[in-house]
Amino acid sequence: MEKFTQLTGVAAPLRIMNVDTDMIIPARYLKTIKRTGLGEGLFAAMRFDDQGRERPDFVLNRPAYRKASILVAGDNFGCGSSREHAPWALLDYGIRCVIAPSFADIFFNNCFKNGILPIQLPQDVVDRLMDAADNGANATFTVDLPSQTITMPDGQTVAFEVEPFRKECLLNGWDDIGLTLRQAPAIDAFEARQKGQQPWNWAG
């Protein structure tokens, strides 16, 4: 998993509440277990019409936001089914941070497991960030995980909270597999003891 330390990029305002995981990545894209290529289907129903043409009014189709790496969204982001493809699609598109008043629990947890930083802030603070994100290509935010701050284009900063363990995992790029591999010496030692004590379990 890619480390997350500091992210500077354009923030796109998504003024929609209750964005569920089917809106983030429709079910027809769930046939793959690969994490790549899903960015094409991100917000597909909102980004494209029935003929596959871009909807010019959708925020990520506007020239200023095509390379957005931060999303400022409405309340209850990531609700619905527990599909992990939702954070995969965001990450594949290039979104590494989502800011919202609240998140669905499973989506929130899946973000941390995939290198995305979900930031939960009070509604009035999100409204300020949303207004700043309306400035198009000038809506460049800096999200600094070590200091737990968001710096807006005008230089104002906003502090955010993150659990220490999850912060450590993002800073070091540790997903669940990475955390397990950190215990490799202890695992190897256990297996060596088991081979000596119960060799029949290791036959063949």
Phi, psi of 175 (to 5 degrees): -90, -170
Distance in angstroms (rounded) separating the CA atoms of residues 126 and 128: 5
Q: Is 80 exceeded by the pLDDT of residue 115?
A: yes
- Residue 60 is part of which domain span? 6-172
> pTM above the 0.85 mark?
yes
Residue found by looking up tokens 């701050």 in the block: 149
Q: What is the 3-state secondary structure (H, E, C) of the chain?
A: CCCCCEEEEEEEEECCCCCEHHHHCCHHHCCCCCCCCHHHHCCHHHHECCCCCECCCCHHHCHHHCCCCEEEECCCECECCCCCHHHHHHHHHCCCEEEECCECHHHHHHHHHCCCEEEECCHHHHHHHHHHHCCHHHCEEEEECCCCEEECCCCCEEECCCCHHHHHHHHHCCCHHHHHHCCHHHHHHHHHHHHHHCHHHHCC
Short-list 24, 74, 63, CA closest to 46: 24
Q: Is residue 96 part of a domain?
A: yes
Q: Does residue 181 fall inside a structural domain?
A: no
Is 191 part of a structural domain of the chain? no
- Check which CATH number belongs to the domain holding 119 and give it: 3.20.19.10
User: Largest Cα–Cα distance in the chain?
Assistant: 68
Q: Hey, what amino acid is at 159?
A: A
Res. 117: pLDDT tops 60: yes
* Res. 63: pLDDT tops 90: yes
- Is residue 45 in some structural domain? yes
Residue 37: band (very low, low, confident or very high) from pLDDT cuts 50, 70, 90: confident
In a domain, 133, yes or no: yes
Give the tokens for residue 128: 């300020």
pLDDT, tens digit (0-9, with 9 covering 90-100), for 148-191: 999 999 999 999 999 999 999 999 998 766 666 555 576 666 77
> What phi and psi values does residue 176 have, to the nearest 5 degrees?
-60, -40
Q: Which structure tokens are listed for 45?
A: 């129903």
Measure the CA–CA gap between 32 and 159, rounded to whole angstroms: 37
- Whether 146 is in a domain gets the answer yes
* Whether the Cβ atoms of residue 46 and residue 23 lie closer than 8 Å to each other: yes
pLDDT at residue 160, as a whole number? 98
Residues 43, 23: Cα–Cα separation, whole Å: 6
More confident residue, 68 or 195: 68
Residue 178 in any domain: the answer is no
Task: Please report the pLDDT score of residue 95 as a whole number.
Answer: 98
The tally of domains found in the chain comes to: 1
pLDDT digits (tens, 9 = 90+) for 6-27: 999 999 999 999 999 999 999 8
71 falls within a domain: yes
pLDDT value of position 182: 58
State the chain's mean pLDDT as an integer. 91
| pLDDT(60) > 70 | yes
96: pLDDT strictly greater than 90: yes
Quick: pLDDT tens for 73-93.
Answer: 999 999 998 889 999 999 999
